[in-house]
Structure 1
Amino acid sequence: MSRTAPNHRSVNRALSTLALLAFTAGAVTACSDHGSAAKHPTSQSAASSSSPETSQAGGAKLHMIDNDGHRLAFYVTRGNGSTIVLDSGGGEYSSQWKDIVPKLHAATGATVITYDRAGLGKSDVVPGPWKVESAVSDLKAGLEQLGVTKDVTLVSHSQAGEIANYFAKDNPEMLSGAVLVDANLPQFFTDEEIPRLVAATQPEVDAAKKDPDKPENRQLISTTEGFAAAHKAFHQVTWPDSVPATVIVSEKTPFEASPEDAQRWRDAAAQFAHGAPNRTLVTAEGTSHEVPTDRPDFVLKEIEDMCATQH
């Protein structure tokens, strides 16, 4: 049977899903201020954030967390009882959730936490390949240092789905539920799909290596190093039956111009959702892959519903 490879534009659109920064107009990239923010902090910027807690706009407070020799920025809007953690897609950082956080806090009364993964926002750059194990360690260290060890609803977009799956596997006792927003799921990364993704992104990787110090290029290169092996391992990860999950799929998927890959994306979400009776699959009508931006109201409702079922 003949196979249709994704065209160049759809591949670029898909890159953000895989944490490989897209370069075409209209695709999501790191915002213009990501570049300066992603660089390793100068002594002046580090000093300005050296206190464990500083006020931020909207009531959130910045906590600089130390883990494995680097510092990460966690933003906390304090509430009562449970905690909701919002984890951004590839190339994005905490600001992705700025419109959702105050509404979510007002609606649920919960503590709401966002954070910048290593190399993004106010968090330190960590040289070398991006490793999901390190990202999971960063998230867990941040939560533990903030005193959050249970009753967490984890909301994960795109690449953060990989972090969520490993985090849930290793720390199910910390989670009361999860909302996976058009997220990377193990079922998608088959032995047939991985080579397609690697081949499709190679032109962007080659171009990025010509200017490896540019923040977005650094992010792209770090994510593609060891991509195939890492995602073969990811394909084997199993979500714990004890943790309920809502799986949100965008209408267009990250592969809008490639029907074959788009269907595989939908099938993977359905397969994940059908893996246990406490998982729900919903489609965000009228959305691109950027569901939190396209339909923040939809995401907000699904988070509220998940929290309501746990209390």
Structure 2
Amino acid sequence: MSRTTPNRRSVNRALSVLALLALTAGAVTACSDHASASEHSTSPSTISSALPGTSRAGGAKLHMIDNGGHRLAFHVTQGHGPTIVLDSGGGEDSSYWKDLVPKLHAATGATVITYDRAGLGRSDVVPGPWKVESAVSDLESGLQQLGVTKNVTLVSHSQAGEIATYFAKDNPKMVSGALLVDANLPPFFTDEEIARLVAFSQPQVDAAKKDPDRPQNRQLISTAESFVSTNKAYHKLTWPDAVPATVIVSEKTPFDGSPEDAQRWRDAAASFVQDGPHRTLVTAKGSSHDIPKDRPGLVLKEIESMVATQH
């Protein structure tokens, strides 16, 4: 594996490490084997009404949303009743969910929204360190401009768990429930674990800085710049008791190759579930960190269950 131009898998693993988990020695070795705001419910007419800069691609309609001078791509598959928002992990854009969206829409009839966080997909780059507060603001602004104000089910993978936690804390009446898919959870980010993650990921960060214009490298660098302060603050955060949450933890965890970190990841998921009401823990047997790819049927089943229970 080249240290000057790390491949996509390497960078995304490092993002997962920094943005949410850890890049272990085993993960580094593995990558060389792969060369490659009202209280009214949202009606169908609300989202389908044209916004500036919209277009349609397949079954989804693209809305370019402005927030503070930068534009973000939101992809809306129109339905009725509740709204399901799919948020991908570090280094991934909305295309991560492309196989799941049509199945989810067909199974639930709900409106399904995916989006590209700043600097990914069709969304504008925002210079500087990654800030979870900015990411939450982008999601809030997008949903507000789309007319989504309640009955939202969040489906958040990996780094997006941090966004979901802040979003649910700020908008408990808007979020009906959340599915946290091998997500970053506050109990995991102890001072000791943060230091381990920084050490694990430093070689990939150094390599990324040699080619900083590549989108994945840019995301890794910006995440690294704020990683310590962001996750020290995140460790103190609590999930709102009023918002039900199902946690799906992968059997292999993001730390396949580091038994100590893998156990800490599993323990954090169990601790999160035990620390509040209306929380459920599910283990994705045989799955890597990429549960939506490895076990899409399980993810679909749990989303359907959450939507049926809450609406």
Give the TM-score band, short-chain normalised: 0.7 to 0.9
Sequence identity (%)? 76
Structure 2 residue runs without a partner (length 5+): 1-8, 37-50
In the superposition, the TM-score normalised over structure 2's length comes to 0.86
1:306 corresponds in structure 2 to 306
Residues 302, 276 of structure 1: alpha-carbon distance in 2 compared, 3 angstrom cutoff? same
Q: Is the 8 A contact 1:55 1:61 kept in 2?
A: yes
Counterpart CA distance in 2 for 1:145 and 1:103 is: 26
Q: Is the 8 A contact 2:18 2:197 kept in 1?
A: no
Residues 142, 241 of structure 1: alpha-carbon distance in 2 compared, 3 angstrom cutoff? same
1:158 corresponds in structure 2 to 158
Q: Is the 8 A contact 1:10 1:255 kept in 2?
A: no
Q: Is the 8 A contact 2:89 2:160 kept in 1?
A: yes
1:63 corresponds in structure 2 to 63
2:231 corresponds in structure 1 to 231
Residues 116, 13 of structure 1: alpha-carbon distance in 2 compared, 3 angstrom cutoff? closer
Q: Offset at 1:196? A: 0.6
2:125 corresponds in structure 1 to 125
The reply on whether 1:191 has 2:198 as its aligned counterpart is no
2:46 corresponds in structure 1 to none
2:6 corresponds in structure 1 to none
Q: Is the 8 A contact 1:10 1:256 kept in 2?
A: no
1:277 corresponds in structure 2 to 277
Residues 219, 13 of structure 1: alpha-carbon distance in 2 compared, 3 angstrom cutoff? closer
1:167 corresponds in structure 2 to 167
The two structures, once aligned, show a CA RMSD in angstroms of 2.4
Find the residue that maps to 2:242 and give its secondary structure: coil
Residues 10, 144 of structure 1: alpha-carbon distance in 2 compared, 3 angstrom cutoff? closer
1:19 corresponds in structure 2 to 19
Counterpart CA distance in 2 for 1:211 and 1:18 is: 18
Counterpart CA distance in 2 for 1:171 and 1:216 is: 30
Find the residue that maps to 1:252 and give its secondary structure: coil
Counterpart CA distance in 1 for 2:30 and 2:117 is: 24
Residues 239, 199 of structure 1: alpha-carbon distance in 2 compared, 3 angstrom cutoff? same
Residues 219, 300 of structure 1: alpha-carbon distance in 2 compared, 3 angstrom cutoff? same
In the superposition, the TM-score normalised over structure 1's length comes to 0.86
Q: Offset at 1:291? A: 0.4
Q: Offset at 1:16? A: 2.2
Instruction: Give 1:186's aligned amino acid.
Output: P
- How many residues align? The count is 283
Instruction: Give 1:87's aligned amino acid.
Output: D
Q: Offset at 1:153? A: 0.2
